[in-house]
Structures are given as C-alpha cells and as structure tokens.
Amino acid sequence: MANEKKDKKEKRPSAEKRNIQSKKRNLCNRVLKARVGSASRSLKEALAQKDASFIQEKLSEVYSLMDKGVKKGVFKINKASRLKARLSTAAKKASV
C-alpha cells in the first residue's frame, strides 16, 4: 500500500502545461541573469585595467543585456536603470 499514490490526485493537463512553461521560463531567465552577471564581472575587470575602449565595449554589452532583460520581463526597469547608472559612474571614474 505504501507504493500506491491514492492520496495524491493527478494533475490536470493544463496544470502540467503551466508547470512545463514555468520551468522553461525559469531556465531562460536564469541564463539571461547569468549572462548579465558575467558581463558585469568582466566590466569590473576592465575597470581595473583602465582600458577606455575595452571598458566602453563591455559597458555597451551590459546595457544591451539589461535592456533585453527588461524587454522580456526578467528585470524591472528601475533595477536595470540603477545598475546601468552605477556601472556608467564607475566607468567614468576609471577613465579619468
């Protein structure tokens, strides 16, 4: 009797579909967040080197990824704006 699952109801097909969709979205969101994190880390490494062209390249990469994240609903717009402002301020300080 321990092997039987009589207590647990089977999920409806719509609930199973929503579960599959949420797992797909979760994976896509995690991938995008990881890409943003690695891009910002590489920008911070570029800030340490103080190479102006490399900093600008990495900054535009982070901007692009954050904008894509806002467009897809992964990030809220204020979080993206805040992060971009902090990174651009750091880039200005490093290039001076």
Instruction: Express each pLDDT in 58-81 by its tens digit.
Output: 999 999 999 999 999 999 999 999
Rounded mean pLDDT, 2-17:
74
Task: Establish if 5 belongs to a structural domain.
Answer: no
| pLDDT band, very low/low/confident/very high, at 51 (cuts 50, 70, 90) | confident
Round to whole Å and give the CA distance between 84 and 49.
Answer: 20
Task: Establish if 75 belongs to a structural domain.
Answer: yes
Domain containing 61 equals 19-95
Domain count for the chain: 1
Task: Establish if 10 belongs to a structural domain.
Answer: no
Task: Establish if 57 belongs to a structural domain.
Answer: yes
> How many distinct helices (H) and strands (E) make up the chain?
3, 0
Task: Establish if 12 belongs to a structural domain.
Answer: no
| pLDDT band, very low/low/confident/very high, at 55 (cuts 50, 70, 90) | very high
User: Cβ distance 85 to 74 under 8 Å?
Assistant: no
Instruction: Express each pLDDT in 13-30 by its tens digit.
Output: 899 999 999 999 999 999
**Can you give the pTM of this predicted structure?**
0.79
The CATH number assigned to the domain holding 74 equals 1.20.58.110
